[in-house]
Amino acid sequence: MQVLQSFAIRAGYAVILLVAVLVLNFSMMHLAPGDVADTISQSMGGADQELLDQIRADYGLDQPFYIQLGRYIGGVLQFDLGFSFFYNQPVTELILQRLPATLLLVITAQLLALFIGVIMGVVSARKPNGILSHFVTFLALFGYAAPVFWTGILLLIAFSLKVQWFPVAGMQDVTIEGGFWAHFVDVARHMVLPVITLGSLFLALYSRLARATMMETLGSDFVRTAKAKGLSTNQVVYKHALKNSLSPVITLAGLQFSAVISGAVLVEAVFSWPGLGTLAFQSIIARDTPTILGILFFSALVVIVGNLLTDLALRLVDPRVGGKG
């Protein structure tokens, strides 16, 4: 019952948060000089005042601010995210077209980075001054410091140009024919470089954190007790210490998942990945208010769902979390 109640309160907060996100962003978009009519005229190579006025009238941009805002919020309350001015397509449709690509990229990169990062952290924590440990520290610093667009281009030059193992851009080769497996392999090949690029950033975070917490745990009393009981080193490390070190890593993973859009924007740009990040970037450039707000709405949803899932995962690994919390 208590759990349900706390979820209900959270859901209530979430709705308020969503409305605040929309109102705030709508107002900010409105404050900036110029509007989508200007970017449409740019894409056309120029337009006269008459046509600009006509475009503004078509999209209701000639109305006062509060009417535009009211109309928009009214639409959202009826689950209508509106029509993209720039692409003349329903925003929901645009986002749903792009969402799977981003989720595929981000989730794969996250899971791989989490898995490899934790293993690297654990292994290096066991010998903090060993070569491997220094290597992990170096890799972490490098992965975190190197800008993703640079890593991406370097990987492209190495693996798409020098040795042509992987394709340069996009998510699939439309000229490929064949069944499900042919396409599966094709998409997988397109994913390798973007996943490595995006994953290297996450990997750096996870391996460092896992290493640090693991070192701390390995020094604690219960680990010494376990060793004293005569358990094998592997049993101590993987059964006792690791489980106790995971909470911070999972919390971090949850936080990172919230950055699903922001983290993917640059990687998507470099690899022309047809995801939400690219769409967000292009919509901001184009001042396409409905699309930007729609993406922010979805991002807020993703953050909320991500937080709930993180919470759930923490309860699973650590019984102290939850209960009355």
C-beta closer to other proteins: residue 75 or 170: 170
**Residue 179 engages other proteins in binding (rule: CB under 8 A):** no
Binds other proteins (CB under 8 A): choice among 63, 108, 235, 282? 282
**193 lines the binding site for other proteins (CB under 8 A):** no
Note whether 269 binds other proteins by CB under 8 A: yes
| Closest CB 156 distance from other proteins, rounded Å | 5
Q: Tokens 């990997």 sit at which residue? A: 203
Separation between Cα atoms, residue 300 and residue 308, nearest integer Å: 12
Residue 90 pairs in a beta bridge with 83
**Applying CB under 8 A, which of residues 73, 87, 103, 231 lies at the interface with other proteins?**
87
Q: State the minimum distance, in angstroms, from the CB of residue 272 to other proteins.
A: 4
Cα 107-113-114 angle, rounded to 5 deg: 90
**Interface region with other proteins, contact rule CB under 8 A, candidates 81-89, 121-129, 132-140, 295-303:** 81-89
- Residues 6 or more apart whose CB falls under 8 angstroms from that of 39 comprise 86, 285, 286, 287, 288
Query: Which residues between 39 and 78 bind other proteins (CB under 8 A)?
Result: 39-52, 54, 58
Judged by CB under 8 A, which of 1, 4, 31, 34 binds other proteins? 34
Q: Does 99 bind other proteins (CB under 8 A)?
A: no
Instruction: Give yes or no for residue 26 binding other proteins (CB under 8 A).
Output: no
Segment contacting other proteins (CB under 8 A): 13-21, 28-36, 257-265, 309-317?
Answer: 28-36
DSSP code of 219? T
- Alpha carbon dihedral 135, 138, 140, 143, in 10-degree steps, equals -120
Length of the chain equals 325
Q: By rule CB under 8 A, what count of residues binds other proteins?
A: 53
- If the CB atoms of residues 89 and 232 are measured against other proteins, the closer one turns out to be 89
Binding residues for other proteins restricted to 286-315, rule: CB under 8 A? 287
Q: Name the residue nearer to other proteins (CB basis): 156 or 205.
A: 156
CB of 37: closest distance to other proteins in angstroms?
8
Q: Which of 11, 32, 16 is nearest to 292 (CA)?
A: 32
Among 3, 15, 141, 157, binds other proteins (CB under 8 A): 157
Question: For the range 58-64, what are the long-range contacts, defined as Cβ-Cβ under 8 Å and sequence gap of 24 or more?
Answer: 59/85, 61/35, 61/36, 61/37
DSSP symbol at 230: T
Binding status of residue 272 toward other proteins by CB under 8 A? yes
DSSP single-letter state for residue 237: I
Q: Which lies closer to other proteins via its Cβ, residue 252 or residue 286?
A: 286
Give Cα separations from 228 to 139, 219, 223 (angstroms).
34, 13, 8
Structure tokens at 292: 């930007």
Binding residue for other proteins (CB under 8 A) from 19, 103, 119, 153? 153
146 residue type, one letter: A
- Which residues contact residue 116 at a Cβ distance below 8 angstroms, ignoring those fewer than 6 apart? 199, 203, 206, 207
* Beta carbons of 193 and 156 less than 8 angstroms apart: yes
CB 137 within 8 A of CB 208: yes
Q: Which stretch binds other proteins (CB under 8 A): 31-39, 74-82, 137-145, 307-315?
A: 31-39
Residues of the shown chain interacting with other proteins in the complex, contacts defined by CB under 8 A: 32-36, 38-52, 54, 58, 86-89, 94, 97-98, 153, 156-157, 160-161, 164, 167-171, 174-175, 269-272, 274, 278-279, 282, 284-285, 287
